[in-house]
Amino acid sequence: MPIETRIHGAGRTVSQTAVDIDAEVVAVPVGSGPVAPAAEVAQSLPFTLDELLELHRAKGEPGEITATQVRLGDRMRELLLYGVGDAAPADLRKAGAALARRGRGRTALVAGVPAGDLAAFVEGALLACYEFKIGAPPHPAKKAVGTLAVLTEAGPESDAPAIELGTARARATALARDLANTPSREKDPSWLAAQAERVAADAGLTVRVRGEKELVEEGFGGLIAVGAGSSRPPRLIELSYLPDEPAERHVVLVGKGITFDSGGLSLKPNEGMKTMKTDMAGGAAVIAVMSALRGLGVRARVTGLVAAAENMPSGSSMRPSDVISHYGGTTSEVLNTDAEGRLVLADALAYADAELAPDVVVDVATLTGAAKVALGLRHAALFATDDALAAALTEAGTEAGERVWRMPLVEDYRAAIDSDVADINNIGRGGYGGGSITAALFLREFAGDRPWAHLDIAGPGRSTSDDAELTRGATGFGTRLLLTWLTG
Ligand code: BES
Ligand code: MN
Ligand code: ZN
């Protein structure tokens, strides 16, 4: 659901702004060093802010909040001292998120924000306000804060671009979360394509959607095979962004768009299946990134491909032992129908290499449980054939608060995807282990000689709890990383 909270700059003091907009909550930052320049709100308290912080053993760490109350104007208001640590971007993102959560149930909150990355603060605050619920609206006491007015030393005019940037990144991330959180009863490949068409119309993109017939005719055998068990046929979604000025390079983003992954005939147990509506989170991130390019003035030409299919068991499903012919003719032997992501991505990667002449290709996919085992829920696994690309994506991830860890494309494991009957097999056999690595090696076969990177987001694509700017369920992981990379 779109984030309803609005953030704007305020020109006057915290107290005056609180009275002007009748905010029930005012907030003052506290650093990990000495207390940040004592805000004028402290003047009306019968104790100093230092005394209050000491009483609560507050250290000014990001995420920490010490609450008291203060009379400003004609009413009592909540006064929050919120930790900002060293006011680094990650600190401000976390601080903004904590403050926004604390503002739930309130109509307006005014916050003094220290010098630093205001966009990160805004992004953190807005993303913490994200909610997805089908049914009764939230109780008023739990509803996200309506307005957040931010005050910095720089003033509202110079703050406006940072507020806009943070808002744009948060809105794109919320779109990715919405797409991934939507239940698969509603979300099938054609639904996802319709969402992409709506985004294209709103965001100044062109879109082409290939349906089943074209996919068969043009040889997208992976998409056809994976989608064969479902009554809801696959789609290849192609979104194109052309910058206003001539582009320096052409970036192709490829997203895994499995709208539900039951495992197919290699059926998953319920425990593993119940989160699989988010198996198109990579595709959601690609659509979300595309939605924000024109607003952010990205200078590269960008094409977004989403390989969308539903992986279901039925009489028409692909079977273990089937051989698929992918786009361009490479064949793969299906040894496990639950390793379906690589089968649909193979088609899209091969298509990008053969038809789109990209300077760089990056795919994003909830590809393997093994990546989740290796790196947990907060780091994506990054694989790349190009060191400079790997370094740029790693740096963008750190800056964006979506961290990645580079993993090796171990040549010795290439034998794991050999097949007796086809060019390659889809599970990595022969006891090599390294399930996320053999999956990446499979994908590499289809990227040609292009600089290529693969983000396995099986871990960070979902969160099991509300945590800083993350909300339980789909996280939109990859959206902020890729936008940061493309705007950097
Ligand atoms: N979508 C899953 C991977 C996944 C698992 C994502 C858990 C998020 C959380 C993928 O299609 C899959 O099922 N992979 C198999 C591959 C195996 C059969 C080679 C896996 O990881 O078990
Ligand atoms: Mn699967
Ligand atoms: Zn999957």
Cα of 462 to ligand 1 centre, how many Å?
Answer: 14
| Of residues 205, 209, 218, 238, the one with CA closest to residue 305 | 238
Ligand 1 binding pocket includes 339 (Cβ within 6 Å): yes
Q: Does residue 35 surpass a pLDDT of 70?
A: no
- Tell whether ligand 1 has an atom less than 6 A from the beta carbon of residue 370: yes
Shortest-distance Cα residue to atom 8 of ligand 1: 458
The reply to whether ligand 1 has any atom less than 6 angstroms from the CB of 372 is yes
Give the distance (Å) from ligand 1 centre to CA of residue 189: 19
Q: How far is the CA of 345 from the centre of ligand 1 (A)?
A: 14
Query: Domain 173-487 carries which CATH code?
Result: 3.40.630.10
Cα 256 to averaged position of ligand 3 atoms, centre (Å): 8
The 10s digit of each residue's pLDDT in 153-193 is 999 999 999 999 999 999 999 999 999 999 999 999 999 99
Q: What is the mean pLDDT of the segment spanning 42-67?
A: 93
Mean pLDDT of 196-219: 98
The DSSP element (H or E) to which 362 belongs, if any, is strand 360-365
Q: Which residues of 465-485 are buried (b: 16+ CB within 10 A; e: fewer)?
A: eebbbbbebbbbbbbbbbbbb
| Contact yes or no for 459/379 (Cβ under 8 A) | yes
* Ligand 1 pocket residue status of 456, Cβ below 6 Å: no
The answer, yes or no, to whether residue 369 has pLDDT greater than 90, is: yes
**Cβ proximity of 266 and 317 under 8 Å:** no
What whole-number distance in Å separates Cα of residue 330 and Cα of residue 127?
42
Q: Measured from the CB, is residue 380 less than 6 Å from ligand 1?
A: no
Catalytic residue among 143, 268, 378, 450: 268
Give the number of the atom of ligand 1 that is nearest the alpha carbon of residue 427: 19
Cβ of residue 471 lying under 6 Å from some atom of ligand 1: no
User: 126 CA to middle of ligand 3, Å?
Assistant: 29
CATH 3.40.630.10 in the chain is located at: 173-487
CB of 377 within 6 A of ligand 1: the answer is: no
Ligand 1 atom nearest to 336, measured from its CA: 18
Where are the CATH 3.40.220.10 domain residues in the chain? 6-153
| Residue 42 pLDDT grade (very low, low, confident, very high; cuts 50, 70, 90) | confident
Of 2, 18, 336, give the one whose Cα is nearest residue 199.
Answer: 2
Could you read off the pLDDT of 260-286 as tens digits, one per residue?
A: 999 999 999 999 999 999 999 999 999
pLDDT above 90 coverage of the chain, percent: 95
Please indicate whether residue 268 is annotated as part of the active site.
yes
Q: What is the pLDDT of residues 381-434, one digit of tens each?
A: 999 999 999 999 999 999 999 999 999 999 999 999 999 999 999 999 999 999
Report how far residue 339's alpha carbon sits from residue 462's, in angstroms, rounded to the nearest whole number.
19
SS3 95: helix
pLDDT at 43: 85
Q: How close is the Cα of 477 to the center of ligand 3, in Å?
A: 16
CA torsion 361-362-366-367 (nearest 10°) is 50
Half-sphere exposure in the Cβ direction for 408 (13 Å, CA):
6
Domain 6-153 is classified in which CATH homologous superfamily? Leucine Aminopeptidase, subunit E, domain 1 (3.40.220.10)
Lowest mean pLDDT, pick from 34-43, 419-428, 456-465: 34-43
Mean pLDDT of 32-54: 82
Query: Which of the pair, 72 or 44, is modelled with greater confidence?
Result: 72
- Ligand 1 close to Cβ of residue 484 (< 6 A): no
Computed over every residue of the chain, the mean pLDDT equals 97
Ligand 2 centre from 352 Cα, in Å?
Answer: 23
462 belongs to the catalytic site: no
Residue 38 has pLDDT above 90, yes or no: no
Amino acid in the structure at residue 304:
G
**Does 180 contact ligand 1 (Cβ within 6 A)?**
no
Give the ligand 1 atom nearest the CA of 366. Answer: 6
Q: Which of 342, 444, 462, 480 is catalytic?
A: 342
Hey, which of 270, 367, 377, 456 would you mutate to test ligand 1's pocket, going by the most ligand atoms within 8 Å of its Cβ? 367
